[in-house]
Amino acid sequence: LLAYPDYRALLDDCTQGKCELDLVVIASPTTFHAEQALAAFELGIDVFCDKPIAPTLAQADQMIAAAETHGRKLMVYQPHRARVEVVALREILSQGLIGPLTMIKRAISRYVRRDDWQAFSRYGGGMLNNYGAHYLDQLLYLSGSKARKVSCALRTVASLGDAEDVVKAVIETESGVILDVDIHMAAAHPFPPWQILGKRGSIVLGQVQGDLAWQVRYFREGELPEMAAQDGLAARGRRYPGNQPIPWREATFSIAEYEPVRFYERCYAFYALDDPPFVPIAETREVMRVLSKCRQSAAGR
């Protein structure tokens, strides 16, 4: 086992034939990702990089281009799409119970006075990069569509640095699904973590008899009471839509009945066995593009 005080010393030894590397794992602060990945690609070494891939979209594009130029593999740590609740949700959505998807709301909240490097913009910190990269990837993956329009607000509330600890992002995808992300590190009460809405119902995640489960409320096509649109100002019989009963059905899907994607096994299959990447680099770039659009929106550009 060898230890180096600086990654350049390690790469220098490789150029002198003192070591052989097939793969480097970059887990340094975000601001160093591009520099370290480019150096590895120059020496013909594959890269597995922490999220987000880089501080900026331009640097991400540099990394992607360098990997292609040198014929090397590049994948980014985006394991939240592999989580068991996402595996279960994708299967539930495939059943079409709630009809066409209209919105996914994703939230995380707590009160944290962050004082480490993640609290500072100059290191690539902040909750947009830190948690936003994960949740945006989750939602884009679930929607199966690229972003068409992005609106975002960023605030620094409880953090001891200058990087944002509050993120509110709303993304409209090319398929028309709205992705709503709340990351609030200055909240005393928790937000609901998931809400999935469709034309005929919705899905939430919660505890059911002690087990974590997706709870679905929906109605079937053709089961709604017959109604006709009224184009006049007076409601017929002074009856309004709220008076019409909805024939709700309920379904529960226990998370315990599903298996997560074995993320690191998929990494091994990509790097060692030449299988397709579990996280295609084009999807990582889309996350970076949305992160960039979020910053532009928050800055009023």
Q: How many CA atoms lie within 13 A of 96 on its CB side?
A: 3
Please state whether 158 falls in left (phi above 0), alpha (psi between -120 and 50) or beta.
Answer: alpha
Q: What mean pLDDT is predicted for residues 77-93?
A: 97
**Whole-prediction pTM value?**
0.91
For residues 18 and 57, which has the higher predicted lDDT (pLDDT)?
A: 57
Q: How many CB atoms lie within 10 A of CB 177?
A: 23
Per-residue pLDDT tens for 120-159?
A: 999 989 999 999 999 999 999 999 999 999 999 999 999 9
Residue with tokens 């919105």: 103
Query: Mean pLDDT across the chain, nearest whole number?
Result: 94
What number is the average pLDDT over the span 254-274?
A: 97
Q: Identify the pLDDT of residue 1.
A: 63
Q: Is residue 8's pLDDT more than 70?
A: yes
CA distances from residue 78 to 20, 244, 263, 283, 292 in whole angstroms, order as listed = 27, 44, 9, 10, 17
For residue 9, pLDDT over 70 is answered with: yes
For 221-238, the pLDDT digits (tens) are 888 888 777 777 777 777
Task: Identify the weakest region by mean pLDDT among 186-195, 214-223, 233-242.
Answer: 233-242
Burial of residue 74, with CB atoms counted within 10 A of its CB: 0-12 exposed, 13-18 middle, 19 or more buried: buried
Both tokens of residue 213?
A: 């489960």
Around Cβ 227, how many Cβ atoms within 10 Å?
A: 9
Average pLDDT, integer, range 2-24 = 85
Distance (Å, rounded) from C-alpha 21 to C-alpha 234?
76
Sheet containing 74-76: order of strands: 23-26, 46-49, 74-76
